[in-house]
Structure 1
């Protein structure tokens, strides 16, 4: 009986630990390197040299529904309007790293 109770408590603890853990984010330091090599020409300092109002600043990301890792990953992967797709140039882990870096920088004010 004690063994069954112990197993049940361990399972509950394991479940609670997994359910409460945040989603795995990318590597921001690697994202910074990739951003500087691939994105900074158009987005230096979180700006946008093509469409000035669509920056990578927190307010703009929120306004345009881009204030999440998934939204940024989608944009980088598929491209949109003047922004090219980086699928094929960056792999999915690199894209996640860039997205993590961009979101982190936007939250810190670039």
Structure 2
């Protein structure tokens, strides 16, 4: 059986592993600015579900692009994180947004 996570069908065990990995990546690389789904640099652009939707960032691809390339004050993580780590952290962000951080 697969589960739908952020518009992508993922086997449950894989989804759990990816989200756990994403949580570790987030804690090590993102939490300084985005603790609890917030945004210390721009308080209006949080990782909360409503803001992700408002700014058209509520998809795996949109978050992966942002993490990979950066934008404005957010640094690019391409070359600092693997493609898998970026995918995992994007899945984690979407999962946490769904849960309300």
For the residues of structure 2 that align with 1:67 and 1:55, how far apart are their CA atoms?
11
How far off is 1:23 after superposition?
A: 3.7
Does residue 78 in structure 1 map to residue 80 in structure 2? no
How far off is 1:78 after superposition?
A: 0.4
Structure 1 partner of 2:24: 33
**Higher Cα radius of gyration:** 1
Structure with greater strand percent: 2
Stretches (4+) displaced over 2 A: 22-26
Structure with greater helix percent: 1
- Post-superposition Cα deviations, 1:50-105, rounded to whole Å, max 9, x if no partner, equal 00000000000000000011100000000000000000110100000000000000
Q: TM-score, normalised by structure 2?
A: 0.84
RMSD: 1.2
Unmatched 5+ stretches in structure 2 = 1-7
Which SS does the other structure have where 2:27 is aligned?
helix
For the residues of structure 2 that align with 1:99 and 1:90, how far apart are their CA atoms?
12
